[in-house]
Structures are given as C-alpha cells and as structure tokens.
Amino acid sequence: MEWVPTEFGRRKPVIGGHDHEGRLLYYALVPIESFGPRVLGMVANHTRCAKAVHGGTTLFKPHICQSTLVVPTSGL
C-alpha cells in the first residue's frame, strides 16, 4: 500500500472497518502535533475527525484531510 491523495474521488480509500453503528471507517495518517510525525489511525465521514492511539493516549484530530488516506497499489 502507499499513501496517495484520494480527494475528489480520484482514488478510493481503503476501508478499515466499521463503527458500532455499522458505518464505514477508513485508514488515515493522524498527526501527533501540528508539524510532527503521523501515526496510523481511522477516519470517518460522519465524525469529521480522525482517531489514533499513540503512547497510550487516544488522539482525536478534527478536519483530517482525505489526502492522507491509504489506497492499495496496483501491483498488490
């Protein structure tokens, strides 16, 4: 897999699961700080934020851009 832009429907994001109500969750890179490293997390259209766990702490980051979503490469 690789990280590529998925904005405007150019590529489809990878589904990472479902929430407790059955709505889709997608993989995303979630920043730990504004310009710091990013960790793997989940994002959903209905929450408008991303969620990840780092160092034993759950991070909630609002307004995560869809360009951080993962898509499968054609070679896999």
- pLDDT tens per residue, range 9-54: 777 778 888 989 999 888 888 878 777 788 888 888 787 788 888 8
CA distance 24 to 31: 21
User: CA 33 from chain center: how many Å?
Assistant: 16
DSSP 32: S
Largest CA distance in the chain: 35
Annotated domain spans of the chain: 2-70
CA distance 36 to 38: 7
Q: State the pTM of this model.
A: 0.68
- Name the residue type at position 34: S
